[in-house]
Structure 1
Amino acid sequence: MVYWIKELMEIFSDIFDKIINPIFAQPSFILGVVTLVGLIALKKPFAELIKGTTKTIIGVLLLQNGSGLMVSMFRPIIFGFTERFQIAGVIIDPYITLSAVTDALGEKLGWVGFTMLIGFGVNILLVVFRKYTHLHSLFLTGHVMFLQSALITWIVYYYFGSDMGATVIIAGILIGLYWSIGAQMNAKPTQIINKGVGFTVAHQQHLMNWFAWKVSPFLGNPEKSIEKIKFPAWLDEFKKVEVSVPMVMFIIFTPLLVMLGSESIQELSGMESWILYIPLVAISFGAYMMIMNLGIGMFVSELSEAFKGVSQKILPDAVIGVDGMALAPYAPNAVIAGFLVCALGQLSGVVILVIMNSPILIIPSFIPVFFDAAITAVFADTFGGWKALVVISFLVGLIHIFGSLWAAGNSGLVGGWMGNSDWATIWPLIMEGMKLISPIR
């Protein structure tokens, strides 16, 4: 009897080592399985099960490959900058951060899928018991959920060094609470902006959106909205990622690379023409981001359908949390103005860091300026007009720089930080709390 039990245990051990463990090490397969389970729960036909699972796996692989290309492009630049000036360069961009997290977690990257699943479960539970929690908003911005789950998984592991079970449970609970409370904070003002359409903002700037709602009436007059001003049509080109991202990154990286000098650039790039390398970096950033966006779009569409379908069966009356850009059509001028003013705020912050000889230089990028500050600008303009928009958008730019400086020094990551305003305010504070109780930091 003992012999058979021993044989059975060895068989289970082999199955775990050769099948289950390799799957856990591959986030593409984990998220594929999560999608498959969700679609099965929705009783989807066999063809849709195959399509949804395959698209999820391919989408995550595209995301990982785009992330790897981005790392290979920018890591030498960051290290070159560090060696030359003895300061650490940190780019505030979610995808650069994902690349840094992917590198930091290594074989543990598969944990991210479990964090995301647990976080979503926490969000659902808090809405199920909304009579007691007063939380009725479901966070369903899939690509943001994945990015945030990856970062919080790393943060928890970095501070506690726990095994997979403890790490994903702690990270899942933390991110689930953030999704639930953050989306709920924005529910009431979002309903005013979208005139009761029935969704809330579920993104990465909940605190500043809430702040804009509360403070903007004291800064200006909502009757003097920037939407009453006619902007030139060419500014609409800023809304196209394939145009704006390379342009913004060219503006940012040109002075940085020039500071490195032609010899360093030639050594980094392996190209004789260092002048050609500068626009190539900017365009490559846009290309890699589009590869990652394609991958995210593929797996998020399937994963979100599974999540949303299951949640609607359980919680048909919940308020759905969506990407902040869903508010852009309600205030297109505010989006453009918020983008431009926040960029000035970020630039001012960088200048201050340079003057102060900061050991860490925060390098701006497109996403926090546009997909973060521009949405907060909609809240500011709606509740306080153009004056509130200018003040709050500039403030958000400064927060992006100085809050990220605070966070980056405690993150354990090389070269990147999320940058969006919640990750420059709420999360650095949480990380300080973790540091106080951490057994290893």
Structure 2
Amino acid sequence: MLRALFMSMMVAVILATAGNTTEDMNVPKSLLFLRDTPVAISFTMIIIFLLTCLFAGADAVKELSGGKNWFMFSIMQSITFAAGVYIILQGVRIAYDPQSRTCQLKVIAEIVPAFKGISDKLVPNARPALDCPVIFPYAPNAVLVGFLSSFAAGLIGMFTLYLLNMIVIIPGVVPHFFVGAAAGVFGNATGGRRGAILGAFAQGLLITFLSVFLLPVLGDIGFANTTFSDADFGALGILLGIIVR
């Protein structure tokens, strides 16, 4: 993930210029409700799920959903996904500390002290690390922009692999959401709106093609047709595969 985020920042710095951020986007009054991140994600995922169900066919959806109506199944899955994102955002929301007069991420303020006693005894001078959702509250619009851009890159990468007669990597929502959204936040910070789009797009292509080249390496150690949808695992795995050969 770190490699993907670093690359998204570099792409944003090189190909974009810092300026208007995703958080300054003008939204028509009739669409102001879309500024609420969970609502925007719900509508976005409904479109994605409906298109996926249409391509999969009614029989495949019925088998997967346990006989549920494909339309209602798409809507419920979209809302469930948005609810999960909302829980994550609320868990890492920014809280104001009146004593220090500073804003802190709530999850950091509560979790880090809990590990201090352990780290002092077992790993002195250790620095705690938290997953990428801790940065989502800083730029909620960039989260959605980054996810959509990364997912679009995954779809383009999928069709490109098909045309090249290579192993096709179907884009997964989870890696493209979490890493793509984080890439959007970093890209937005270094290159504005354009940086968020281009940085996340580059990240989406990176995790797609790295997964393809990692497949033979994992196949050699008994994990045939298995890969990781993460840039760190992909880059290090390919490097180790070259070394051991």
Whether TM-score is above 0.5 comes out as: yes
**Which structure is higher in helix share?**
1
Shift of the 269–388 alpha-carbon distance from structure 1 to 2, 3 Å rule, reads closer
User: Paired residue for 1:364, among 171, 186, 190?
Assistant: 171
Partner AA of 1:418 in structure 2: F
1:431 aligns with 2:241: yes
Contact 2:210–2:235 at 8 Å: present in 1 too? yes
1:414 and 1:237, CA in 2 relative to 1: closer, same or farther beyond 3 A?
farther
Matches within 5 A, 1:50-199: none
Q: Name the aligned partner's letter for residue 386 of structure 1.
A: R
Q: Partners of 1:252 and 1:312 in 2: how far apart?
A: 51
Pairwise CA RMSD: 4.1
Deviation at 1:427, TM superposition (A): 2.9
The residue type equivalent to 2:207 in the other structure is H
Q: Is 1:345 matched with 2:146? A: no
Indicate whether 1:219 and 2:20 are aligned. Answer: no
Mapped contact 1:324–1:371 kept (Cα < 8 A)? yes
CA distance in 2: counterparts of 1:304 and 1:364, whole angstroms:
34
Question: Cα offset for 1:423?
Answer: 3.0
Q: Does 1:419 align with 2:226?
A: no
Q: Structure 1 residue 371: deviation in Å?
A: 0.6
Using structure 1 for the length normalisation, give the TM-score: 0.40
Distance 1:392 1:332, change over 3 A: same
* CA pair 284-328 structure 1, distance change in 2 beyond 3 A: closer
Q: 1:229 to 1:311 in 2, by over 3 A?
A: same
How far is 1:431 from its partner?
Answer: 3.3
Deviation at 1:281, TM superposition (A): 8.8
TM-score for both structures, normalised by structure 2: 0.66
Distance 1:312 1:279, change over 3 A: farther
* 1:320 corresponds to 2:120: no
Deviation at 1:372, TM superposition (A): 0.4
1:310 maps to which residue? 118
Describe the superposition over 1:41-66 as per-residue Cα deviations: whole angstroms up to 9, x where unpaired: xxxxxxxxxxxxxxxxxxxxxxxxxx
Cα displacement (A) at 1:326: 0.8
Q: Gaps (5+ residues) in structure 1?
A: 1-204, 298-302, 437-441
Contact 2:154/2:204 (CA < 8 Å) preserved in 1?
yes
Q: Indicate conservation of the 8 Å contact 1:341/1:394, yes or no.
A: yes
Match of 2:105 in 1: none
1:425 deviates by 3.1
Residue 180 of structure 2 is matched in structure 1 by 373
* Identity across matched positions, percent: 23
Mark the CA change 1:270 to 1:325 in structure 2 (over 3 Å): closer, same or farther. Answer: closer
| Residue 414 to residue 256, structure 1, CA distance change in 2 (3 Å) | farther
User: What is the rounded CA distance, in whole Å, between the counterparts of 1:365 and 1:308 in structure 2?
Assistant: 35
Could you report, residue by residue, the CA deviation over 1:68-123 in whole angstroms, capped at 9, with x for unpaired residues?
Answer: xxxxxxxxxxxxxxxxxxxxxxxxxxxxxxxxxxxxxxxxxxxxxxxxxxxxxxxx
Identify unmatched segments of 5+ residues in structure 2: 92-110
1:322 deviation in Å? Answer: 0.9
Q: Cα distance 1:224–1:430, how it changes in 2: closer, same or farther (>3 A)?
A: farther
Alpha-carbon spacing, 1:346–1:251, altered in 2? closer, same or farther (3 Å):
farther
- The answer (yes or no) to whether the contact 1:249–1:365 under 8 Å persists in 2 is no
Is the alpha carbon distance of 1:284 and 1:210 closer, same or farther for their aligned partners in structure 2, counting shifts above 3 Å?
A: closer
Shift of 1:368: 1.2
> Whose radius of gyration is greater, 1 or 2?
1
Rounded to whole Å, the distance in 2 between the matches of 1:425 and 1:352 is: 20
Could you tell me which amino acid in structure 1 is paired with residue 34 of structure 2? W
Q: Return the alpha-carbon distance in structure 1 between the equivalents of residues 65 and 17 of structure 2.
A: 55
Give 3-state SS (helix, strand or coil) of 1:363's partner.
coil
Query: Is the aligned partner of 1:234 residue 2:34?
Result: yes
Q: 2:3 — aligned with what?
A: 207
Matched with 1:250 is: 49
The alignment of Structure 1 onto Structure 2 pairs a total of residues equal to 212
**What one-letter code is carried by the residue in structure 2 that aligns with 1:228?**
D
Q: How far is 1:224 from its partner?
A: 3.0
Q: How big is the shift at 1:369?
A: 1.4
Q: Equivalent of 1:395, from 202, 227, 230?
A: 202
CA offset digits 1:218-238 (Å, max 9, x no partner):
222223322222454326126
Q: Aligned partners of 2:236, 2:65: CA distance in 1, in Å?
A: 41
1:173 matched to which residue of 2? none
Cα 1:405–1:278 shift into 2, 3 Å: farther
SS in 1 for 2:128: strand
- The CA distance in 2 between the partners of 1:218 and 1:269, in whole Å, is 44
